[in-house]
Structure 1
Amino acid sequence: MTTRVPAPLLVVGSVVSIQVGQACGKHLFGAVGPLGVVFLRLALTAVVLGLVWRPALPKSWRARGLIVALGTAIAGMNVIYLALERLDVGVAVTLQFLGPLALALIGSRRLMDFFWAVLAWIGVFLFTNPGGGSELTVSGTIFALVSGASMAIYVVLNKRAGTRTSDGSYLTYAVAWAAVLSLPTGVWEGGAELLEPWVLAAGLGVALLSAAIPYTLDMAALRRLPPRTVAVLESLEPAVAGLAATVVLGEILAAVQWVAIACVVAASIGAVCTPQKKSKR
Structure 2
Amino acid sequence: METSTRGAGRSAGVALMLAGGLSNQVGAATGALAFGVIGPTGVVAVRQWVAAIVLLSVGRPRLRSFTRAQWWPVLGLAAVFATMNLTLYLSIDRIGLGLAVTLEFLGPLAVALAASRRSTDLLCALAAAGAVAVLMRPQPTTDHIGIALGLAAAACWAAYILLNRTVGRRLPGAEGSAAAALVSGLLFVPVGAVVFVHHTPTTGALACAAAAGVLSSAVPFLVDLLALRRVPARFFGLFMSVHPVLASLVGLVVLGQVLSTVEWLAVAAIVGANAVSVLSAAPRRTRAAAPTPERGMRTEPGS
TM range (shorter): 0.7 to 0.9
Question: Where does residue 22 of structure 1 map in the other structure?
Answer: 28
Question: Where does residue 111 of structure 1 map in the other structure?
Answer: 119
Contact 1:12 1:234 in 2 (8 A): no
Question: Where does residue 236 of structure 2 map in the other structure?
Answer: 230
For 1:259 and 1:236, locate their aligned partners in 2 and report how far apart those are by CA, in whole Å: 14
- What code does the residue aligned with 2:42 have? G
CA displacement 1:179-221 (0-9 Å, x = unmatched): 2223333332333656643333222211101112223334555
Question: Where does residue 140 of structure 1 map in the other structure?
Answer: 146
Question: Where does residue 300 of structure 2 map in the other structure?
Answer: none
CA displacement 1:139-182 (0-9 Å, x = unmatched): 1111111111111232344455557534x433222212112223
For 1:107 and 1:56, locate their aligned partners in 2 and report how far apart those are by CA, in whole Å: 34
For 1:190 and 1:136, locate their aligned partners in 2 and report how far apart those are by CA, in whole Å: 31
Aligned partner (choices 69, 74, 81) of residue 81 of structure 2: 74
Q: Does 1:151 align with 2:151?
A: no
Question: Where does residue 124 of structure 1 map in the other structure?
Answer: 132
- What code does the residue aligned with 1:102 have? A
Structure 1 stretch displaced more, 80-89 or 218-227: 218-227
Q: 1:11 to 1:155 in 2, by over 3 A?
A: farther
Contact 1:7 1:224 in 2 (8 A): yes
CA displacement 1:38-65 (0-9 Å, x = unmatched): 1010012212333455543361313333
Q: Does 1:47 align with 2:45?
A: no
Number of residue pairs aligned between Structure 1 and Structure 2: 273
Q: 1:221 to 1:152 in 2, by over 3 A?
A: farther
SS at match of 1:252: coil
CA displacement 1:44-93 (0-9 Å, x = unmatched): 22123334555433613133333323222211220201111111211111
Question: Where does residue 175 of structure 1 map in the other structure?
Answer: 181
Contact 2:44 2:209 in 1 (8 A): no
Structure 1 stretch displaced more, 53-62 or 35-44: 53-62
Q: 1:220 to 1:50 in 2, by over 3 A?
A: same
- What code does the residue aligned with 1:90 have? G
Cα RMSD after superposing both structures:
3.0
Unaligned runs of 5+ in 2: 1-8, 289-303
Q: CA deviation at 1:262?
A: 0.6
Contact 1:41 1:203 in 2 (8 A): yes
Q: 1:222 to 1:56 in 2, by over 3 A?
A: farther
Aligned partner (choices 246, 253, 264) of residue 247 of structure 1: 253
Identity of matched residues, %: 33
Contact 2:47 2:213 in 1 (8 A): yes
For 1:246 and 1:15, locate their aligned partners in 2 and report how far apart those are by CA, in whole Å: 16
TM-score w.r.t. the length of structure 2 is: 0.78
Q: 1:149 to 1:13 in 2, by over 3 A?
A: farther
Contact 1:50 1:172 in 2 (8 A): yes
TM-score w.r.t. the length of structure 1 is: 0.83
Q: Does 1:97 align with 2:98?
A: no
For 2:162 and 2:225, locate their aligned partners in 1 and report how far apart those are by CA, in whole Å: 11
For 1:227 and 1:58, locate their aligned partners in 2 and report how far apart those are by CA, in whole Å: 33
Q: 1:13 to 1:165 in 2, by over 3 A?
A: farther
Q: CA deviation at 1:261?
A: 0.7
- What code does the residue aligned with 1:269 have? A
CA displacement 1:200-256 (0-9 Å, x = unmatched): 322221110111222333455567766544321111111010001011101111122
